[in-house]
Structures are given as C-alpha cells and as structure tokens.
Amino acid sequence: MNFIITSPLYYVNDKPHLGSVYTTIICDSIARYKRLREENVLFITGVDEHGLKIQRTAINNGISPKEHCDEVSDIFKKNWTKWNISFNKFIRTTSQEHKKVVYEFYEKVKESNDIYMGTQKGWYCVGCEEFKDNPDNSPSRQCPIHKKNLEWKNESNLFFRLSKYQKDIEELIKNPDFIEPKERRNEIINFVSKGLKDFSISRTNLDWGIRVPDHLNHTFYVWFDALLGYVSAISSTDNNCSLDLSIESGWPANLHIIGKDILRFHAIYWPAMLISAGMKPPKKILGHGFLTREGQKMGKSLGNVLDPEILLNKYGEEAVRWYLLKDISIGSDGDFQDRRFVDIINNDLANTIGNLLNRTISMSRKWFNNQTPSISEKINNEIITLANNSIKNYLIYFDNYKLDKASNEILNFATNVNLYLNKKEPWSLIKDDKNINEVKLIIYNVLESTRIIGTLMQPILPEFSNKILYQLGAQNIEKRDWEKRLNWGLLPESNDLPTPIPIISKLDYE
Ligand code: MSP
C-alpha cells in the first residue's frame, strides 16, 4: 500500500527557519514509522519559489529571482540531508515538470467552468501571499502574523469559483478524520459556515510566476501554483510527468502536514480546486501549532529568531528532534526554552535511557564474561507486562500521530525500568553466589528492556536507536520485521557486549 506524506513546500525567501525544521521533523518521524509498519512511503518535500515575496527578496539581494531560487532551493535540499530527513521527492515549483502539471490542471478547472475574470480589491499581505479579511476591523492595517503593513490591491484577476463548492467542503470537513487536531477542525468549520467566497488565482504586474496560457499578462497566484506541487512531485522524476501519471502513481496524498497558519489553503481551497479538476481531495490534513521562544513570538524585529543551523551544529539533530517531538503536542503551540532544552536532553536521553544502558551493560560484562547473561527461563514478570503495555500504547499513539505521547511512553517505560533495577539491587545480590540466577534474570530483563526502548526509538531518533542496538550487540534482530522485533525475549543470551560508550553526551548550560 502507498502512503503519501507531504511537508509544506517552503518559501525560498530565506533559508530554513525553526518552524520549517519543526514541520519537516514531524513528517520525517511519521514517514519512518510508516516504513517500519511496512507501508510503501512516498515522502514529499520541496520549495515554493514563485510570487511577490520571492521576487522582492531577489531584487533586494540584487540578483535575478531564478538565481536566488537556485541558491536557496539548494540550501533547503542540503539542509534536509544534514537533518537526516528521509524525503523521497524534492519538488521545485520552478521546474518544467511542475509547470506542465499546472497547465493541465488549469485546463481541467476551466472545463468545469470554474474560472472567470473579475476585479480583486483588497488588503494583501505579501508575507502570507494572501488577501486578508476585514482589515478595517483591526486598529492598524497590519498582518497579524507578519506584523507588516498590508498593501492595497485593485486589479483584474482570474477567479476560481470556490463558492460553488460550499456543500462539498462542508461534507468533507464533517468527517472528523479529515482535519486534525480538533481545535484546527473547529476553526475551519466556523470559517466555512460563514460562506465561501471565490478567490483570485492570477496576478497582473507580477513577472515571477507561471504565465497563464490564455492571459499572458497574468501569472498564476502563487498558492494556486504551489499546492499543485504535491501532485507534480509524485511523477516529477518521470519523463512524462502529468496529472494522470500522478493519479496512477498514488494521488490522493494520505497526509499533508502543515502549520496552523496555512490551514485554510489546505483544508478548503485545495480540496475544492481538486474536486473541480475531477480529482480526489487529500485524505488528511494535520495542522500543528506555532513555536515561540522563551514565551515570545519569534521575529526578526524582536531579534530572538532561533537559527536552526546553530542548534544543529551545537547539539546535533537528534537532541533537537527529541525536544520538538517529545515536548510539544502537535496540536498546541510550543515554546523553545534553552534551559528546558538542556534539562530534557540530559534527563531523558543521557540519564534515564543512556545511563540505564551504560551501567547495565557494565554490570553484565563484569559478571558474565563480557556477555549478556544466559538465563534458565524468561519467566513472566512485572517488566514484561510494563513493556507490553508501553508498546501497545505507543502504537496507538503513533497511529494517531500523537508523537509526544508516543515519545513519553518510551520515557515512562525507561523510568520504570530504572526503578526496577534500583529496587532489585543486583549489585548487592551478586555478593552471594546463591543469587546468581536471580541476578542473571534481572540483568537480562533490563538489557532486553533497553532493546525494546531502542527499537521504539527508531522512527523518533534513528541514530540514537542505532547506537542503543549496537551497544547491545542486537543488530541481527534488525532483520526481522519491525513489529515482531518488539516481542519480548529476542535479545540473544551469552552474546558478546561491546565496551559501553555514552550514547549521548550531556549538554552544558551556557
Ligand atoms: N509556501 C507556503 C506553503 C505552500 S504548501 C503548498 C508556506 N511556506 S513557509 O515557508 O512560510 O512556511 C512553512 C511552514 O513553516 C508552515 O507549515 C508554517 O506553519 C511553518 N511555520 C512558520 N513559522 C512557524 C513557527 N514559528 N512555528 C512553527 N511553525 C511555523 O507557508
């Protein structure tokens, strides 16, 4: 079965910011999970290169939009490799393949009689590339997201008959699975209930865009163009990239992951455009919250923008992943706090999991000839029950994209294993020979628990997971299918254990 998952296609006005890193990490973790669950995953990411915002950025930098886009698109692609993002397709909206798909799509929408010429008057935010509703109600004509002045536009544009799809969209969003989480869905239900208005899909006075074939002084509105990137990406590496080929190859997408600011485009405009072209809407839209820093909105004017590259170089990608995935619930806004970041990495990864692994391997090596112990029987005990409960909950959480809860489930299990080890005190028991079988069992149970922890970590922290399994000499178990690797008792007995090395270094406050 195919599972198509997409990140937004990022604007190339600047290099990746923490928001784009956050969205992409969520996608990556879900894509990895689905692959482990034996799905044939197509993970699409890419860049959104047209529009006024990009044109202006290029002009300000004194280069052509094309040169600017080539440069920044390359930065994005390289960056995702540095973050160990397992994308399968990277689409650029300036590619010829994409342009072809936009043309084809436009013809289909025209055939449905959904395009007409009208006049677009209103206040426009270049940052959002969006007309804003009722700015007269706000004290200043500023974009609430970008805090920049809106621009007045009054031009002849081509319009898309969104209003015609009122009923279809109402029907679609009735399905509680279509938009998640609930809060996001409610926002959309509320917006749709006020009645959908047609929106303009072309611009005049803007060169940097795909020309509308039958109105050559117009370029396509950047959102009309960019959303189609999800479709063109599917067949983009084929010579004959086309709408039909993308449909044959798996459209509709199973999951669009986006931030809450671009929900309307994905949950309303996009499905309506697709229905108009005779195509299926995506199956699910997952809208995450916004990141703030030390409780404040991040912004250039506030001077508090957190550069993800600095975080990456200083702490490595997995520390950042753990913080973003484990500490922030996808539906809510999340705050990035330096102190909390250091505490979480040290407590969760270095102490609760890393130390547990390290000290138990050391005990096992010391007492059992540098090997895992051999035990007479893997008898049922409290640890097995804890492991199975955690695995069950973890799978349910992951299937419902509650990545924070799934991560916390691993951590809770690790905390309980630490408690078990401390309660059993094998270091005291070993002093008396008659306890040897009991000590063997305790050590085996703890090592096997860390193997389960390592296996559960795989889609969340792939490198950290590899390191755990390597330290346990458990790489061979990797050959089985992932869910079976979660069965208790697969850690081989009397198996060589490599010298333990810390799997993550503790971080310092600065
Ligand atoms: N180009 C459009 C998307 C087109 S999809 C066909 C776009 N690009 S963006 O680069 O501005 O935004 C990309 C993503 O970053 C969005 O999902 C947005 O919600 C997210 N974030 C931007 N700032 C953010 C935070 N401060 N916190 C979390 N995510 C935020 O929109």
pTM, two decimals, is 0.95
Q: Hey, what amino acid is at 503?
A: I
Q: Tell me: the pLDDT tens digits for 59-71?
A: 999 999 999 999 9
DSSP 112: T
What pLDDT score was predicted for residue 305? 82
Averaged pLDDT for residues 147-166: 91
Which one of 7, 11, 304 would you pick to mutate in the ligand 1 pocket, going by the greatest count of ligand atoms within 8 A of its CB? Answer: 11
Residue nearest to atom 25 of ligand 1 (CA): 19
What pLDDT score was predicted for residue 140? 62
Task: Count Cβ atoms within 10 A of the Cβ of residue 361 and give its class: 0-12 exposed, 13-18 middle, 19 or more buried.
Answer: buried
What pLDDT score was predicted for residue 478? 66
Atom of ligand 1 nearest to the CA of 10: 10
For residue 262 and ligand 1, the question of a CB distance below 6 A is answered with yes
In sequence order, what are the beta bridge partners of 255? Answer: 5
What pLDDT score was predicted for residue 508? 87
- Which residues neighbour 442 within 8 Å (Cβ) at sequence distance 6 or greater? 420, 421, 424, 426, 429
**Least confident window among 21-25, 49-53, 133-137, 286-290:** 133-137
Q: Give every strand in the sheet of 211-212, ordered side by side.
A: 202-203, 215-220, 211-212
Q: In terms of DSSP bridges, do strands 334-336 and 211-212 run parallel, antiparallel, or are they unpaired? A: unpaired
Could you tell me which of 235, 344, 244, 329 has the C-alpha nearest to residue 290? 329
| pLDDT of 300 strictly over 90 | no
What pLDDT score was predicted for residue 1? 53
- CA gap 225, 106 in Å, rounded: 10
- CA gap 497, 489 in Å, rounded: 17
Averaged pLDDT for residues 149-154: 85
What's the CA-to-centroid distance between 7 and ligand 1, angstroms?
9
What pLDDT score was predicted for residue 431? 97
* Percent helix / strand / coil, the chain, rounded to 5: 50, 15, 35
What pLDDT score was predicted for residue 380? 66
**What number of CA atoms fall less than 13 Å from residue 134's CA on the CB side?**
2
Residue nearest to atom 12 of ligand 1 (CA): 10
Which one of 290, 297, 311, 330 would you pick to mutate in the ligand 1 pocket, going by the greatest count of ligand atoms within 8 A of its CB? Answer: 290
Q: Tell me: the pLDDT tens digits for 393-439?
A: 999 999 999 999 999 999 999 999 999 999 999 999 999 999 999 99
Which one of 45, 129, 208, 262 would you pick to mutate in the ligand 1 pocket, going by the greatest count of ligand atoms within 8 A of its CB? Answer: 262
Atom of ligand 1 nearest to the CA of 298: 26
Q: Tell me: the pLDDT tens digits for 203-245?
A: 998 999 999 999 999 999 999 999 999 999 999 887 789 999 9
Residue nearest to atom 14 of ligand 1 (CA): 20
Which one of 184, 261, 305, 324 would you pick to mutate in the ligand 1 pocket, going by the greatest count of ligand atoms within 8 A of its CB? Answer: 261
DSSP 132: P
What pLDDT score was predicted for residue 31? 98
| pLDDT of 379 strictly over 80 | no
- CA gap 308, 329 in Å, rounded: 20
Q: How confident is the model at residue 364 (pLDDT cuts 50, 70, 90)?
A: very high
Averaged pLDDT for residues 470-481: 81
What's the CA-to-centroid distance between 384 and ligand 1, angstroms?
42
Q: Tell me: the pLDDT tens digits for 308-318?
A: 999 999 999 99
Q: How confident is the model at residue 134 (pLDDT cuts 50, 70, 90)?
A: low
Q: In terms of DSSP bridges, do strands 291-293 and 296-297 run parallel, antiparallel, or are they unpaired? A: antiparallel
- CA gap 451, 245 in Å, rounded: 43
For residue 232 and ligand 1, the question of a CB distance below 6 A is answered with no
Q: Helix (H, G, I), strand (E, B), or coil: what is residue 76?
A: helix
Q: Tell me: the pLDDT tens digits for 240-278?
A: 899 999 999 999 999 999 999 999 999 999 999 999 999
Please report, rounded to a whole number, the percentage of residues in the chain having pLDDT higher than 70. Answer: 97
Averaged pLDDT for residues 49-55: 92
Residue nearest to atom 24 of ligand 1 (CA): 19
For residue 6 and ligand 1, the question of a CB distance below 6 A is answered with no
- CA gap 129, 131 in Å, rounded: 7
What pLDDT score was predicted for residue 35? 97
